[in-house]
Amino acid sequence: MALIFNKACIIGVGLIGGSLARAVKENSLVGEVSGYSRHEEQLKLAFELGVIDRYSTNLAEAVTGCDLIVLATPLKAMPSILQMLVGLVNDDVVITDVGSAKRGVIKAVENAFGGIPAGFVAGHPIAGTEKSGVEASFAELYQDRCVILTPTQETDTQAVEKVSQLWQGAGAEVVVMTADHHDEVLAATSHVPHVLAFSLVDTLAKMQEHNEIFKFAAGGFRDFTRISSSDPQMWRDISLENGDAILSVLNRFQQSIDELKQAIQKQDGQSIEAIYRRAKQARDEHVIN
């Protein structure tokens, strides 16, 4: 693909930001990639690994000359970063993010800039691993993955097109929807599964015989709880930022758990099997292994 942006600044060069930097460099989508973070050791490592071309712990220096800025920090860090960006960018700069909860990010942008800049394109790549840090990044992370963009009415269509081309160049499929719809869908498909995995492992760890439980854990336990090895700080932020949608799904899940508990208590094998069959059919029809 042809060059889409001349210079990009990745703010937060971890797994997600680092993988995007690798992908755009490998596919020649951006001429130069700079990195910004408050933690210089991470920037140095990213530079040594060839993930970024230059870096600075001074935000003004990091974004100088950039026509693309990518916010790849934890959600709770974005408001302060956005406040720092005010006055450092002009109307021609495209700003996008990778946050997992879109309504909160959009509100933070609005608060910082006094409105939504035409170049701001809210986004969320549905990709990741249980690992974190720039050393875990790889260019193929977004290959055949979905990236959701949630532009506002104020967002310029050309900015949306350029961000779409960037993600497509990194191998992703781009889908556009509203921020509200995104947060509801992701609460159900990503956020609540992580909440449940963290909660289950924490519950078992508190049991007196937890060492034996983990010793004899089978493949199903490892598969289900793998995501509980994800970054706790990041998932704390997501749980808080998208709390309403997460609670809505958890309430529905609690009703289903109560139904299953009652069936087990009553030794109602027919109801138990019906629940399991519905679940199996839904997963077999809609989830690709």
pLDDT at residue 56 above 70?
Answer: yes
96-108 pLDDT tens trace:
999 999 999 999 9
Please report which confidence band the pLDDT of residue 254 belongs to, taking 50, 70 and 90 as the band edges. very high
Q: Identify the pLDDT of residue 281.
A: 95
Q: Identify the pLDDT of residue 1.
A: 64
Q: Torsions phi, psi of 196, nearest 5?
A: -65, -40
More reliable by pLDDT, 128 or 94: 94
204-215 pLDDT tens trace:
888 866 677 788
Q: Identify the pLDDT of residue 286.
A: 86
Return the bridge partners of 35, or none.
10, 55
Task: For each of the domains in the chain, give its residue range(s) and CATH number, in order of start.
Answer: 5-177 (3.40.50.720), 182-286 (1.10.3660.10)
pLDDT at residue 180 above 80?
Answer: yes
Q: Identify the pLDDT of residue 250.
A: 97
Q: Compute the distance between CA of residue 43 and CA of residue 133 in angstroms, rounded to an integer.
A: 11
Around Cβ 76, how many Cβ atoms within 10 Å?
16
pTM value > 0.85:
yes
Structure-block tokens of residue 5: 């942006």
SS3 264: helix
Please report which confidence band the pLDDT of residue 238 belongs to, taking 50, 70 and 90 as the band edges. very high
* Cα separations in angstroms, 233 against 4, 42, 68, 96: 33, 17, 26, 21
Q: Identify the pLDDT of residue 288.
A: 65
Q: Identify the pLDDT of residue 289.
A: 60
Cβ atoms of residues 128 and 141 within 8 Å: yes
